[in-house]
Amino acid sequence: MDPFDSNVAANLPRNMIENSMFEEEPDVVDLAKDSAAFPTFPALDPDEVVYEPRSSRLLVRGLGENDMDEDDEDCESSARLLGMSFMNRSSAHRSSSFPYTRQAPPRSCSRPSARTTVVCVLFLVIVASMTMVLYFLPGCTFTKAGCRKTNKTTPFEPVYPLSTNGKLFPWAQFRLPRSVRPLSYDLTLSPDLNNMTFTGRTVITMSVLHNTKIIVLHSAHLNITKATFKLGDQETRDVTVLEYQPRQQIAVQFSEEMKAGQYCVLTLDYSASLSHTYDGFYNSSYIHKDGKKRVLAATQFEPLSARKAFPCFDEPAFKATFLIKISRKPNYMTLSNMPQAKSTQLSNGLMQDEFEKTSVNMSTYLVAFIVADFTPISKNVSETLVSVYSVPEKKEHTDYALYTASKLLEFYNNFFEINYPLKKLDLVAIPDFLAGAMENWGLITFRETTLLVGNQSSPLEKQLVASVIAHELAHQWFGNLVTMSWWNDLWLNEGFATYMQYMSLQKVFPQLDIGNLFLAVRFRALDKDALNSSHAVSTEVNNPEQVEEMFDSVSYEKGASILMMLNAWLPGEQQFRKGIIQYLKQFSGLNTDTEDLWNSLTQVSVSAQHHNVSEMMRSWTSQKGFPLVTVSRKGGQVTLTQEHFLLTSDKATYSSSLWNIPVTYVTDNCSLGHDCIQMFNLKTKSGTLELPESVKWLKLNYKNTGFYIVHYGDEGWAALKDALSSNVHVLTQEDRASLIHNIFALSRLGRVSFYQVLNLLTYMSNETESSPVTEALLQLNVIYRLLDKRQEDSLVSRMKYYILDRFGSLMDKQTWGEEESVSKQELRSALLGSACSLNQENCIQQAKALFKQYDQSNGTSRIPGDLQQVVFTVAAQSNEDWVTLLHMYHTVTYDAEKRKMLRGLASTQDARHIVWILKAGLRGDIIQTQELPLVISTVCNGFAGYLFAWDFIQENWDRLIEKFPLGSYAIQTIINSATSQFSTQAHLDQVQGFFSSLKERGSQMRSVQEALENIRLNQRWMDKNLPTLQKWL
């Protein structure tokens, strides 16, 4: 019932706990918990699930049964629970104005007041009356402990909500019943791009798995105009469709049971508006080079929006085949998952395209279709026709994507030993697209920036495109062929695709040097997972908001990190590969959960040492967070101790979690190369390993392939620092970066002083490699920004001199011409970005000169791709150049450059410009609304911007959640960027006050908890470290 982690709830203000408890349809959520396992269909008949009766369960809680501490229960919550049980016991008591949907919670009565007393007395009266009622209720065995058991001979009916037509809706859960299973969908769609509407007909053929009288499926914002039903050989007849909008479900109810083994067909005609957000069947547009607006329609269904385009069983485990027909004007084209089978002229002058029936069973969230006027380029790869589509004038930017997709498709076909199963694969750049890309089977959709690059684009820009393509292609196996049963295991899709994205690029395009980026994202995943508000990789998901929230760094980057750790631990790379081939083959076309993956990997393990992948990996997927390994050494004896690395750590959040950690380490005897790695399995709280006494230092977590942080103790850190000061190359650059990341994290945890951090950084005067430098700059910038926002002016300038002192000479060595190496580009853009943001004169002058040259060249001169961001950001600081940049933003067609211009524009410190750009992003005319999260996060970096942005978010919250779903990655980004730099009590109160006032419009989101936790941590770090900074900077 509690959507929060219980530990988090303990820390929350009272009113937030209550809101979270009562506004999320507590009864229903609880019932849904039991229905997670679904891969094997005939598991249980949900229609026959014996429900714990709502009234009894609520009463047990309300009357103070042991599951809630009496001190924690206040009179209001009990009264409310009782009130709800009254409301729902009998339909006679329901009124259409009060179905049991979300209601505003009554005022808290925990503060004593006259009103409170009245409410509490009233409550006691209600309790007394209820007790009487219950006592005399048949079927309820009344005991001292409450009505715990129902009499089995007269079970309570589950309490059903009301349909829109006032009749009872025959289903009371968030998850659909499993008694009927769809086999195939026949979809006919007729979009009208002039009026932004569409009509549709969906014919669903189903098989009855268990005797039942109902069919329940999803539908959202569809106006169903006609419904017919045919069971087996019987006549087709009209049926009434009931709708329960809060859960986006529709149902058909029959007087007689359908029997297991029967087949039936439901036909639904409907009409709807094309969505004006970024999900469902939505409209999009772009300005053609003739200056006219062109309209198009595209789909984005993951996770819960297929139901907005056609009525369907919209859960990933309901796989079926699809036959799709779409009508269009003759000057448009259509695309869908499968190749086009035929095209027919309709009597109204339109064409109807029919696509082949899908040759595979697939989940609804992977269905896709597009009506547009795009142009393709194509190429045959093995048995598959690969095409890249874009708006016509961007066709010349599609070559790189076609080349990359072809190479990667060949790689995956070989790597997985299963060929991509469809005859065609389209990659389409959509002008309006919120996510980075979407892996629809056979029809992958992208943002223009993640698919289109020019021939002369920089390797860094190509790296982005290649990496998104690699991710989406990996999904054609992980996600599309084998799909998670439910969203709680989203990481099986996303963690895998993320890991494969980096792994495949390292193999196929080593020149793109993707390793540094993967290392950096693993650091960020650790940072986020160190919060108490984090969650287990595999975690319960019981409402739409929680489904959206699964799309976060835990599912993606932590998922990928633990797979990398596992791969490094298994002997030889083939072992891991064999395991996933086994998994893909065994579950091809089916749905799985996490345990299925571990079992497959265990089955192929060769050596006894590695026999139990499940046992090891369960500790990483079933609990949140990760371990801190502390090293203490006495001569040759090294003791390793593990504990939960939890930034917010107090009695309430204490966790005794243990991980099965495949610890790797190297020493000064041998520290570079695979042969130097030594292994130690730390399963218990502590373990001891032996080293020769002569060993001077050891470094754990070789190349940071493990998902843990290491504390070496004062002596251990000092030894490592000495070793690096005399020769940086005693460790790999990944290991150096990992030391830097870990020591900053330990400082945030309070285990090392900031003096120790600065002490380690003294070695950096000899550092020249990208990963350690970018990590150190990033960490120092975080502190610099916090100080800046606290207006600690003297510390800000001292921090600035500290950074310039450490990195100044390296900054001066950077060039401003074209550079081919990816890692040199990464290093240079980080260094020059910092130098210019710290107002280093030389940097500013160079950037201004490049901008001027670019502006005056009429498109003949180019700014190197990796320097564009620095140059545009510097330009945007002057009023005149900001206007010039805005003009360029209007005219430039090349998307990667356009996005950097936008970030430049948003980095302005001019209040008028800040307000303008925030508003423009929300309006979506000049700046696309899809870019608003980017605009907000950039605005928040600057001192002037972050307060404006926070106000803007508060004022426009309702419009924001209209555009971006609650819990979505976009909303997560917005909340995080707006609040992550607050470090005072006043801001904490403000943020807390605002989000708790939102109630069902967002107060329960995990990102809100994360924001509050981050502010408290910032506050704590500042209190503790300001004196150190005063002393040592």
Half-sphere exposure of 116 (CA within 13 A, CB side): 10
Q: Of 494 and 734, which CB lies nearer to Zn ion in the complex structure?
A: 494
Q: Of 497 and 1012, which CB lies nearer to Zn ion in the complex structure?
A: 497
Q: Of 310 and 420, which CB lies nearer to Zn ion in the complex structure?
A: 420
Measured CA distances, 830 to 126, 773, 870, 948 (Å): 65, 8, 9, 26
For 127, the 3-state DSSP assignment is helix
Q: Is 178 exposed, middle or buried (0-12, 13-18, 19+ CB in 10 A)?
A: buried
Rounded to whole angstroms, the Cα distance separating 364 from 313 reads 7
CB of 555 to Zn ion, least distance (A): 9
Rounded to whole angstroms, the Cα distance separating 693 from 858 reads 68
CB of 494 to Zn ion, least distance (A): 5
Q: Choose the catalytic residue: 23, 315, 472, 1000.
A: 472
Degrees to nearest 5, angle at CA 483 with 478 and 489: 95
Half-sphere exposure of 900 (CA within 13 A, CB side): 22
Rounded to whole angstroms, the Cα distance separating 800 from 786 reads 13
Q: Which ranges of 813-840 would DSSP assign to H, the alpha helix?
A: 822-837
CB of 468 to Zn ion, least distance (A): 9
Dihedral over Cα of 915, 919, 925, 931: its sign: positive
CB of 475 to Zn ion, least distance (A): 5
Told to judge if 23 belongs to the known catalytic residues of this protein, a careful annotator would answer no
> Which of 228, 231, 212 is closest to 269 using CA atoms?
228
Q: Of 497 and 580, which CB lies nearer to Zn ion in the complex structure?
A: 497
Q: Which ranges of 482-558 would DSSP assign to H, the alpha helix?
A: 490-508, 515-529, 544-549
CB of 28 to Zn ion, least distance (A): 29
Q: Of 490 and 719, which CB lies nearer to Zn ion in the complex structure?
A: 490
Q: Of 717 and 969, which CB lies nearer to Zn ion in the complex structure?
A: 969
Rounded to whole angstroms, the Cα distance separating 384 from 395 reads 21
The annotated binding site for Zn(2+) is made up of 471, 475, 494
Residue with the shortest CB distance to Zn ion: 497
The annotated binding site is made up of 471, 475, 494
Q: Of 28 and 473, which CB lies nearer to Zn ion in the complex structure?
A: 473
How many Å separate Cα 63 from the centre of its chain?
A: 39
Residues that bind Zn ion (CB under 5 A): 494, 497
Tokens found for residue 999: 């109630």
Omega into 155 within 30° of 0, i.e. cis? Answer: no
Q: Directed axis angle between helix 879-891 and helix 841-856, to 10°?
A: 50
CB of 471 to Zn ion, least distance (A): 5
Rounded to whole angstroms, the Cα distance separating 679 from 656 reads 24
Rounded to whole angstroms, the Cα distance separating 460 from 466 reads 10
How many Cβ atoms sit within 10 Å of the Cβ of residue 256?
7
Q: What is the phi/psi pair of residue 404, to 5°?
A: -65, -45
Half-sphere exposure of 420 (CA within 13 A, CB side): 28
Q: Of 480 and 781, which CB lies nearer to Zn ion in the complex structure?
A: 480
CB of 446 to Zn ion, least distance (A): 12
CB of 496 to Zn ion, least distance (A): 9
Write the DSSP symbol of residue 556.
I
Which residues are marked as active site?
Answer: 472
